[in-house]
Structure 1
Amino acid sequence: MNSGVITFLVVIFGSVFAGVATGAIAHYMGNESLAGISSPQENPTAQFVDENDNSGEGFSLINEQEILTEINDLKQRHKSSQK
């Protein structure tokens, strides 16, 4: 083999080895840094949820025509107050 091919192979294998070694070290350090960390035993937002909340039972649709009438009245009052 010629020296150029050997040099190329040494560089390629060295780069692959360096990448694998760096990844292994980073994985080990990440596991060590998170060794004492654990997730909470319960959901922290559970204190804000009422288990007996039946707010969905009283659901009713709003009459669109009433809303449009109110908006139109507000527009008219606003126009008359600007004059």
Structure 2
Amino acid sequence: MNTGVITFLLVIFGSVSAGIATGAIAHRMGNESLAGITSPQENPTQQYVESSNDPDQQFSLIDEQEILKEINETKQRHKNTRQ
């Protein structure tokens, strides 16, 4: 065989071996770093869902005109501070 072919095969073999070794090391390190991590036993957002289901709580709509008025006032304040 030609020395160029042997060199090419050695480089390819070395690259594949290095990739496999790096992947194995990264996999092992990742498993070790997550060894003490567990998923929560309950849903943490459940407390907000349960507290918002108060039957005595009244639903109220927000007046759109008041919101638009506040937005325009805020725009004017920002416009005045830029000048």
Deviation at 1:52, TM superposition (A): 8.6
Q: How many equivalent pairs are there?
A: 62
How many percent identity over aligned positions? 74
Could you tell me how far apart the structure 1 residues matched to 2:33 and 2:52 are? 41
RMSD: 2.9
Q: What TM-score results when the alignment is normalised by the length of structure 1?
A: 0.61
1:3-82 paired onto structure 2 within 5 Å: 3-50=3-50, 53=53
SS of residue paired to 1:42: coil
Q: What TM-score results when the alignment is normalised by the length of structure 2?
A: 0.61
Structure 1: segments with no counterpart, 5+ residues: 56-69, 72-83
Structure 2: segments with no counterpart, 5+ residues: 56-63, 66-83
Larger Rg: 1
